[in-house]
Chain A
Amino acid sequence: MQIAVLTGFVLAILVPFLSRWCGSRTGMVLALYPAAVALWLVSLAPAVLQSGGIYFEQAWAPSLGLSLSFWLDGLSLLFGLLISGIGTLIILYASGYLHGHPQIARFYVLILSFMSSMLGVVMADGLMTLFVFWELTSITSYMLIGFNHEDAAARKSALQGLLVTFTGGLALLSGLILLNVVGGSWSLQTLLDDGEALREHALYLPMLLCLLGGAFTKSAQFPFHFWLPNAMAAPTPVSAYLHSATMVKAGIYLMARLQPGLGGTEVWMTLLCIVGAITMVVGAFLAIRFTGIKKVLAYSTVMALGTLTMLLGIGGEAAMIAFVSFLTAHSLYKGALFMVAGALDHETGTKDIDEMGGLRRAMPVTALCAFVAALSLGGVIPLFGFVAKELMFEAVLDAPRFTGFLIGMSLLASVLVVAAAGIVALRPFFGALKTTPKTPHEAPLSMLAGPCVLAGLSLLLGFMPWLAGDGLLSAAASAVAGSEVVTDLYLWHGINTALMMSMFSLCIGLLVCWRWPDVRGVIHRFSPVLDRGPEAGYWKLMDLLVRVSEWQTRLLQSGYMRNYLILTLLSFVGLTGYTLLARHGPVLEFELDVRLQEVVVALVTAASAVVACMMRSRLAAVAAAGVMGFGIALIFLLFSAPDLAITQLLIETLTVILLILVLFRMPQFSSLSTPMERVRDMLVAVGTGVLMTLLILTILGQGHLFTSISEYMIDNSEPLGHGHNIVNVILVDFRALDTLGEIFVLSLAAIGVLAMLRLQAKEKKAP
């Protein structure tokens, strides 16, 4: 299982080489990966459906109870299939859409990494595994939205998406940690089995709020919905994949995953129903306000995400069946519609619906796909969207609370969505032919495959919903509900209230679509009010953030080395000194048992330190400091620590070399500080020295302040580490993770030096 998830990352690394070998066929080769994952999931499906789930665990840091663990049950299977299936089509589609784009390899790298991360999210069992993959999807999404990184608007939107989802990610992290504290496990499966304990714990409310904070921001729920339409700055394949079919559903997935453990309480129902319903209506309403085809689709995605949240809030069997059906239906038709939108944009050169018209002759296949998918979006019989919508209405009619409110909201939303569906599918293709920036012609085969397959599936599942319903969807619904749910999907439910609501929304919706320009005119009058939405709040907040950071930078970053040094040393002396005095009390006993050579070395070291402070020339000061370093190295040697001594010697040598290189760039040494400042500096220096001495005396004097771990290292170096040099064994084996961190820090420092010097040199040249 980990192989399936991680292969994507490996492939992503190999893309640059692959694209050199395969040229324009890279897309087809890469599409094999999601296709293989999809096949693998299908082959596992019977086992999953029978046993209820497959588990995989890989120890990571067992001492912390952390492991890389995956869990494949009905819900993960459904999501996994959507991700890999649609992913295959998207990669093929992108190879047509971005054909000849100079950066296409970069696109493949990002989309493959994203695919793997997303698979990781839906299959994760460990809380930390989930979180890591979750954040990876945010990062890859950021890079994909900003794919056209030379466009300032795209960069802005990418940053907005990142900030909103990362803020949510922080909330999620707190929520997951709380979940671990409350439930005492890192495994979702174990935690959710004992839902009762979670729900009745005193920390339930803060935990739930944190987790939902993560889910709501990721899934663009009101009032965080604004980032999603802006994310449409990404290339269309990205919008189709990340921002409709998969990533934005990660939040929905999380809520569905937590439903059996945390769901069903008063707070859960209230929050999810209200937020979901508001998101649904706001999304649907904003969808018909704009003329950009991707904006319309993006807002209708917001509407769908709201609906899904609301269904989770309602709870109960009917709602769960509606949830999984709606989820599947939405991924199918929205994926198709986005690909159609991309094809229109690609072939006509415009994204504005008002500028398109009469394209059905030039692009017949695209038109057909758009029509079928839009029927499903609008919930027209006999598409799968109709089945999902009926189920949604039925669930809402049976809702245990807020029934009236929810019925009203969902009716309103579906009227508006029908209108949006009509706008997307009818307006560009019918009516008089309008002149577009490019002469329209049919899209290439690679770009038609995706929408055709997805639209075809919408139609097929509409006629035969039991194909998906009996196995996959019922397993997924059972996983969400936490108990066995039998889904029995059929197209025709008979004439009932749900059907009436459907018909009603269809009629009014088409009316709105017909009179769209007038409707938009009416809405336009309210735009001053609408522009003051949550997004304005976001920009206000960003401005504030920038101002606060400017202020605190001016306050703290004086740019003088001495100020930083004084601040660092003083806080060290203050905090450590306080702890030492208050907690332990300093120990001043020591035995003066030193050899002559030690005294000599110590004196030389101390003397050179004094000399370094008095010197009038830089070079002499550096040399004196060097002598001090060598003195310390000698002390290491005297106490038989050759590794430390060698390191110290080499570091001293290199420091002198580096300092000398830098010295050439500095102005002459001159004494600028006043006597008062000198006294201050001396006090700080002496204070630090005294504290260090006290610290060492205390630690050595008490002996048992901390239990020493050196015994363990000495005893185990040979048997466990196969080495006699304990220092080295500790560095590369026992504490290898620390060393790994350190070499990363070292590399960053080198890159920092490089960037600083190069930039400075450039700036000097440029003016």
Chain B
Amino acid sequence: MKTGTLILTVAAQTLVPLQILFSLFLLLRGHDEPGGGFIAGLVVAGAFALHQFVNGPQATRRLLRVDPRDCIGIGLLLGVGSAFPAWWQGEPFLTAQWWDVMGLKLSTPLIFDIGVYLVVLGSVLTAVITLTEVDKDET
């Protein structure tokens, strides 16, 4: 696939970091305002997809540092893991737990949401990157 037309390259340089930041913003505010892990995951996946169109899959892999497949795994672990703190308290599986750490509202739903975020990111990127790489192999 052809990469890097001028307009796309310039736009991506500004847009990708902004999109990543915005996705984190969406993720963290999700519990009270529109947003949340799923949406934020889609936004950040869009950011990396854009980066990939400009710079090619190799560069995106480097930017991401971890394999998108590992993202899926870590996300699932976080999702399942967030179910267990309730156990410790002797409450039914997956009951939400809330902790107040220095004025911050921390909770198992937040961990769960981060898990969703990573799974969405990993899944979409696995598909996108694989599709591009296979294309490259063939040509």
Contact = CB atoms under 8 A, between A and B. Distances in A.
Interface of A: 58-62, 642-643, 646-647, 650-651, 653-654, 657-658, 661-662, 664-665, 721-725, 727-729, 731-733, 736-737, 739-740, 743-744, 746-747, 749-751, 753-754, 757-758, 760-761, 764-765
Given A654-B49, A751-B72, A757-B130, 4 more contacts: A650-B43, A736-B112, A753-B127, A754-B69
A743 B116 CA distance: 7
A761 B138 contact: yes
A760 B134 contact: yes
B94 A724 contact: no
B80 to A, nearest CB: 7
Contact of A658 (B105, B127, B135): B127
Nearest to A727: B36
7 interchain residue pairs of minimum CB distance? A750-B123, A650-B42, A723-B31, A732-B109, A728-B36, A642-B34, A724-B32
Contacts of A651: 42
A725 B75 CA distance: 22
A650 B46 contact: yes
Contact of B34 (A62, A643, A657, A736): A643
Given A728-B36, A747-B72, A59 B131 contact: no
B130 A740 contact: no
18 contacts: A58-B90, A646-B34, A651-B42, A654-B42, A723-B31, A728-B30, A728-B31, A731-B37, A732-B37, A736-B96, A736-B109, A743-B76, A747-B72, A753-B126, A757-B131, A761-B134, A761-B137, A761-B138
Nearest to A641: B34
Contacts of B126: 750-751, 753-754
Contact of A647 (B42, B94, B109, B138): B42
Nearest to B75: A743
A443 B90 CA distance: 48
A654 B124 contact: yes
A66 to B, nearest CB: 9
B69 A732 contact: no
Contacts, number: 153
B104 interface: no
Interface in B112-139: 112-113, 115-116, 119-120, 122-124, 126-128, 130-132, 134-135, 137-138
B25 interface: no
B96 A733 contact: yes
Contacts of A753: 126-127, 130-131
B75 A722 contact: no
A764 B138 contact: yes
B36 A747 contact: no
Contacts of A732: 31, 36-37, 109-110, 112-113, 116
Given A733-B96, A761-B138, A646 B39 contact: yes
B96 to A, nearest CB: 5
Nearest to B43: A650
Given A651-B42, A747-B119, A757-B134, A725 B80 contact: no
Nearest to A662: B131
Contacts of A58: 87, 90
A744 B38 contact: no
Interface in B18-44: 30-39, 42-43
Nearest to B98: A722
Given A642-B34, A650-B42, A750-B126, A743 B131 contact: no
Contacts of A727: 34, 36
Contacts of B127: 658, 750, 753-754
A661 B123 CA distance: 16
A654 B135 contact: no
Nearest to A13: B77
B6 interface: no
Given A732-B116, A739-B116, A747 B38 contact: no
B92 interface: yes
Contact of A747 (B49, B76, B92, B94): B76
B92 A654 contact: no
Nearest to B32: A724
B76 A725 contact: no
A658 B128 contact: yes
Contacts of A761: 134, 137-138
B94 A749 contact: no
B90 A758 contact: no
Contacts of B76: 743-744, 747
Interface string B45-72: 1100100000000000000000001001
B123 A749 contact: yes
Contacts of B37: 731-732
Given A650-B46, A747-B72, A753-B130, A723 B122 contact: no
B93 A746 contact: no
B33 A661 contact: no
B31 A722 contact: yes
B66 to A, nearest CB: 15
Contacts of B138: 761, 764
B15 interface: no
